[in-house]
Amino acid sequence: MEDYLNSKGLCHVCRQETTTIHAEIGPGQQVYVCEKCLETAKLNFIWICAHCGSVYIRPKSLVIKRLTDPGLKKAYQACEDLQIIQGIDMCAECDAEGIVECVAAAKGAQNRGHC
Ligand SMILES: [Zn+2]
Ligand SMILES: [Zn+2]
């Protein structure tokens, strides 16, 4: 376990940099994320599709602006200053609505943790 945490791996988001930084994208799911991509995560929501491994990066302001549901909008706005990288079961190609629900659910999960 220790070895794993100290090991280097290819950044899951850009697949260009090797890094020792991990991000939790879901319960028990850890991926490598380089500093550059963590920086990207400050201004963008990043989703990683658990199904096909596709990575989706969307500007937070744009995502929030497009939301019409006030509850979801609030949840997203609360996440605006966080660096969020999330695992999703399905990518936007499969189910764009699913992504929105996924973020809302993840926000609820974070409330139980350090957020
Ligand atoms: Zn990266
Ligand atoms: Zn997919």
Q: Closest-lying ligand to the alpha carbon of 40?
A: 1
87 alpha carbon – ligand 2 mean position (Å): 10
94-105 mean pLDDT? 63
Cα–Cα distance for residue pair 76/50, rounded to 1 Å: 21
| Residue 115, helix vs strand vs coil | coil
pLDDT digits (tens, 9 = 90+) for 46-87: 999 888 888 999 999 999 999 999 999 998 898 888 888 988
Residue 97 has pLDDT above 80, yes or no: no
pTM above 0.75, yes or no: no
Q: Closest-lying ligand to the alpha carbon of 49?
A: 2
Q: Closest-lying ligand to the alpha carbon of 50?
A: 2
